[in-house]
Structure 1
Amino acid sequence: MAEQLSLDLPVRPALGRDDFFVSDANAMAVALVENWPNWSSGKLVITGPAGSGKTHLVHVWANQSGGAILDATDLESADIPSLASGPVAVENVQAIAENGPAQDALFHLHNLTLAEGNTLLLTGTQDPKHWGLTLPDLKSRMQGTMTATLSDPDDMLLSVLLAKLFNDRQLVPTPDTIPFLVKQIDRSYAAARALVEDLDRASLSEKKPITRAFASRFLRKQTS
């Protein structure tokens, strides 16, 4: 049987609910997202490091609620009344820390969405008190929102995360590769994402399949 080699194919992240693995690191956030009609005060903040699954959970929520999704940096030009007419998610709120007009827009979106009886989901890489917001009324409303935190991955979640990242790139490592990698890399989403990207690039360059031996050799080169 011919060896399967990686191809330079587009990365298509799987964002369905069935693609999101639940562990102790994210169980509370998943439970809250799935119980979205009963959020306290109609809103929720999800925080966690880059790559922890915030966007994935936002899409799960949007599929369940029919909600709209936009990045906080797009708020300044958004049609706020239209967005507030249904459930809405705003991602990367910390990105507007220096953007007064965008903060004003989020403040109005927050108030109008809740006044319309709709739900509001927000995400950021840190707790809202560290978002650097300068509009006092918005800052207090964000800090008063129920928050679910995505923690660094445990071994089980890290294994599933690596498998998903490989699958997103249409790569099939040998069965012993992922257990080996779990023991070698930092317990972080960023480290897992960077490693899979680097292995994909190296596999394509060398025209080699991703095996335990290939991964081991790659990691030795990285640390030598």
Structure 2
Amino acid sequence: MSEQLNLDLPVRSATGRENFFLSPGNAIAVAEIDRWRDWPAGKLALIGPEGSGKTHLTHVWASDADAEILPARDVVDWEPRPGNFAIEDVPEIAGDAEAERALFHLHNFVLAEGGRLLVSGIQPPALWPIALPDLTSRMRGTPSVRLEPPDDLLLQALLYKLFNDRQITPQSRLVPWLVKRMDRSFAEAGRIVAELDSRALATGRPIGPKLAAELLEEDMDRG
């Protein structure tokens, strides 16, 4: 269900998770996820850098498609059953013969039964260092769509949402100030907001650029 936020970005509800914001950087991926019933190959690879929202969008898809989500390392425990499945972080099982064989059989079974399969990783499937030749060919034959790191508009909307979730009204200059200086990832946005909230509660100081500058400077000092 859609609603409107301060920045007029549409919101997509993800089951059990925060709202997923649409932006130019993720619109193509979201559109491809939405047409999951019509995936020509019955499968899709969702790729993008760490913190680009792959896990979040996977949960959006799983909610829509009534799909089960499995970390790639858990596929060895999978028992064949019809349905839709999402396998996260496939490159993590590269070189694990048992897990690779399990994913190969899962892939074939799900598609043979008319299910849909979503797989994810940081790089395109052609670069996944899978050792099992049959699985390599299946993954390389999987169409892919890429999530980009959050752009300015998305990052601003996310920060406002995270502050609002904590019932925090930051100083007016803070969000634009952060967008210009912070690392661009969903994970980093969540960490910064949580840390600013904690420090403000501990010290009674306002949540503004000065407090944020101290936090980012400490991050740089730690390397």
**TM-score by structure 1 length?**
0.81
Deviations 1:101-143 (A, max 9, x none): 1111110010010000110011112211222111111111111
* Residue identity matched to 2:45: V
Q: Which moved more, 1:43-52 or 1:154-163?
A: 154-163
- 1:160 pairs with 2:152: no
Q: Relative to 1, partners in 2 of residues 1:62 and 1:206: Cα closer, same or farther, differing over 3 Å?
A: same
CA–CA distance in 2 between the matches of 1:55 and 1:160?
A: 19
Residue 104 of structure 2 corresponds to 107
AA at the equivalent of 1:66: D
Quote how far apart the aligned CAs of 1:200 are: 3.8
Q: How does 1:27-46 map to 2 (within 5 A)?
A: 27-46=27-46
What is the DSSP-based 3-state SS (H/G/I as helix, E as strand, rest coil) of the residue aligned with 1:40?
coil
Question: Match for 1:172: what amino acid?
Answer: I
1:147 aligns to what? Answer: 144
> For residues 57 and 77 of structure 2, what CA distance do their matches in structure 1 show?
25
1:181 maps to what in 2?
178
In the TM superposition, residue 193 of structure 1 has moved relative to its aligned partner by: 4.1
Measured on the aligned residues, the alpha-carbon RMSD in Å equals 2.4
- CA drift at 1:22: 1.2
State the distance in 2 between where 1:190 and 1:63 align. Answer: 21
- The 2-side partners of 1:222 and 1:76 are apart by 39
Q: Which has the higher contact order (CA 8 A, sep 6+)?
A: 1
Counterpart Cα distance in 2 of 1:99 and 1:188 = 29
Which blocks of at least 5 consecutive residues in structure 1 are unaligned? 1-13
Give SS of 1:113's match: helix
Q: Does 1:135 align with 2:132?
A: yes
Map Cα deviations across residues 166-213 of structure 1 (whole Å, 9 max, x no partner): 456x35241432122112223344543443343344334434452344
Alpha-carbon distance between aligned partners in 2 of 1:192 and 1:18, rounded to the nearest angstrom: 13
What is the alpha-carbon distance in structure 2 between the residues aligned to residue 202 and residue 190 of structure 1? Answer: 18
Give aligned-pair identity as a percent: 46
Change (3 A) 1:181 1:116: same
